[in-house]
Structure 1
């Protein structure tokens, strides 16, 4: 079986991490896999991938062009008949591979993984119609969680039979075996309470609420924000305007996230909506209490295990943080429940699900 993974880039993000982990896992299982990127610039995920799997062939389709350039359609068309399976992630890769499939017979079975519960195209009359035309070009649409599955089926209507659910997963051992830093290694006193959020700075995320929660917490509570994106500067200005610059630490893109998870006291994901966030699963597996916004894509994963707080409610978030830091029994109970829940999202289960799906499609 020859497989091509297609994604916009390997910048920071859950889908990018998923593709990186999938390629590594496939190669370990002897699957002939290659990767195509609309933008092949060097990133932390790219470095990790080439370090662990230097034999992986990577097609950089960008050549300096925007990933929204329709010229990608013709580049992808030349690739589609070289593989048994072409597995696509994110927009606009989703459209470009779909359009490329109209340009003649396609040997490959096309798969698309839907990573979010919603997107702006679903509220645009023309794009909503185009969406359904493109979805028809795929053999299977993979949903990554209960919420994504339900929303996607509703969106697709009569095409719902194309949707198949395979929950996202992570390498649990990579997180559990990570060695924590000393807080002093990061420039903090041992008495500092450290909060951590790992996510891109985009409209989907809600670092604003987490930053504002510090206004209700002791000055010894600090926040580490890992990630990058178009809204990072806006959040840096917010921290400065609230006189919190000395307590909010912007770490950018990092390759040592498992170690950071093991170092901090509480892991948080403040968001407006999710699919099945890998940062969420890593938080559950970190051995630290995990807190998340009560929004689609997080609620069904975290409820009954970690702590949910109302979206955008920085005061409620602060109250929950205070309870964790002042009640040792409660803290340990939340950690235990989070660890149990994380075992439902092992990457091995996800990989086997994908490979079985590929095999079934090729046989048909």
Structure 2
């Protein structure tokens, strides 16, 4: 890839010559998932760097809150929302935005939005398209996988948000010559400076994740009940929105297990870094992941971290070096890991220190932004491959 100084130099030269900055349109679900956050972060980074003129387009979901969309606009981001009730309408409205904005590159994030985004790009004759996959296990039917593979012919790059996601894409038959990994990153500013030692924190647990089928709140609640039987009663903070039916199911299970006094469903949290730095343990119980940003935030906050042993998570956690892995969907295994961290202060602090070093060293927003903008610059500097041109004819 091109490096960032080369990107900046080219943009400066273009500005002196009166040439506009290249335009990038990021299309993603409006469900404010991890994929949404990555797209938002990239649009903000483009605006800050000045290397690209960026627009964010969200596909409306039931939980697309107008207040959160307006907050993005108040921050100076160019944001539009398209309908989500019909794929055809989504494609038509996005294509219309593309014709008006005239992006040089369309970046379509996440399943199944990367399908509808690229169809719109084809209709609007967008010169370059990028498919970004944010999870290692998506609900590809035979029909949708066939569409995605066909669309890969007219796609310049296919990006997995981790090496695990890249491997899953290759296993499904996506072209190796176009498929790469760009790990997600987090904003490190809230975590800079000294963080409290674990002994000075609330001896409790935080899981910052939306309520969705992908996440495994149930296993964490059952693990908490097992800890109670072992004489340990840590508090648990569930931070995150998501689908109400999954939240209600977790609340019902919490009541059935008699954990109401230990568990707090706080919903959307506007200051996750502060919440994490107040507590000793960050947990991500999940069925599958792409790149677990909430876990990396826990690492950066100096928490002792525990994650389910699934693709994405096991790429981040080196068991017993910077955290603990628990068997997937196993309350007893998760309870064992949590008990280790609650009873072994020295070991927990050692792993928390290693986790913080890894988060700061490997998962910064600056590194992620540099990789994406270098990819965009590489695509813009070269002509489409023969395969790409053939896919559009």
Q: Confirm or deny a common fold (TM above 0.5).
A: yes
Q: 1:220 aligns with which of 233, 240, 261?
A: 233
Question: 1:27-51, CA deviations, whole angstroms, 9 ceiling, x for partnerless residues?
Answer: 1101311111122843675465334
Tell me the secondary structure at the aligned position of residue 83 of structure 1: coil
What is the rounded CA distance, in whole Å, between the counterparts of 2:304 and 2:66 in structure 1? 29
Question: 1:255-307, CA deviations, whole angstroms, 9 ceiling, x for partnerless residues?
Answer: 11111111111000011110011112112111111110111111121124211
Tell me the secondary structure at the aligned position of residue 107 of structure 1: coil
Determine if the alignment matches structure 1 residue 257 to structure 2 residue 266: no
Q: Relative to 1, partners in 2 of residues 1:27 and 1:178: Cα closer, same or farther, differing over 3 Å? A: farther
Q: Does structure 2 retain, via aligned residues, the 8 Å contact 1:3–1:85? A: yes
Q: Does structure 2 retain, via aligned residues, the 8 Å contact 1:12–1:227? A: no
Alignment of 1:27-106 (within 5 A): 27-30=47-50, 31-39=52-60, 41-42=64-65, 46=69, 49-51=72-74, 53-54=75-76, 56-62=77-83, 66=85, 68-81=86-99, 82-103=102-123, 106=125
What is the rounded CA distance, in whole Å, between the counterparts of 1:363 and 1:203 in structure 2? 41
Tell me the secondary structure at the aligned position of residue 353 of structure 1: helix
Q: Relative to 1, partners in 2 of residues 1:117 and 1:70: Cα closer, same or farther, differing over 3 Å? A: same
Q: Does structure 1 retain, via aligned residues, the 8 Å contact 2:212–2:242? A: yes
Alignment of 1:333-348 (within 5 A): 333-342=350-359, 343-348=361-366
- 341-350 or 13-22: bigger deviation: 13-22
Q: Relative to 1, partners in 2 of residues 1:57 and 1:261: Cα closer, same or farther, differing over 3 Å? A: same
Q: 1:326 aligns with which of 343, 346, 350?
A: 343
Query: What is the match of residue 137 of structure 2?
Result: 118
Determine if the alignment matches structure 1 residue 316 to structure 2 residue 329: no
Q: 1:132 aligns with which of 116, 131, 149?
A: 149
What is the rounded CA distance, in whole Å, between the counterparts of 1:330 and 1:194 in structure 2? 16
Query: What is the match of residue 184 of structure 1?
Result: none
Query: What is the match of residue 174 of structure 1?
Result: 190
Q: Relative to 1, partners in 2 of residues 1:35 and 1:17: Cα closer, same or farther, differing over 3 Å? A: same
Q: Relative to 1, partners in 2 of residues 1:44 and 1:262: Cα closer, same or farther, differing over 3 Å? A: farther
What is the rounded CA distance, in whole Å, between the counterparts of 1:283 and 1:45 in structure 2? 23
What is the rounded CA distance, in whole Å, between the counterparts of 1:154 and 1:234 in structure 2? 34
Query: What is the match of residue 276 of structure 1?
Result: 291
Tell me the secondary structure at the aligned position of residue 87 of structure 2: coil
Q: Relative to 1, partners in 2 of residues 1:179 and 1:70: Cα closer, same or farther, differing over 3 Å? A: farther
- Using the size of structure 1 for normalisation, the TM-score is 0.88
Question: 1:150-200, CA deviations, whole angstroms, 9 ceiling, x for partnerless residues?
Answer: 11112125x2222121111111122345998xxxxxxxxx99631010111
What is the rounded CA distance, in whole Å, between the counterparts of 2:91 and 2:104 in structure 1? 19
Question: 1:239-263, CA deviations, whole angstroms, 9 ceiling, x for partnerless residues?
Answer: 1111112211111112111111111
Q: 1:202 aligns with which of 200, 212, 221?
A: 212
Tell me which stretches of 4 or more aligned residues in structure 1 moved more than 6 Å. Answer: none
What is the rounded CA distance, in whole Å, between the counterparts of 1:318 and 1:25 in structure 2? 39
What is the number of equivalent residue pairs in this alignment? Answer: 345
What is the rounded CA distance, in whole Å, between the counterparts of 1:281 and 1:50 in structure 2? 27
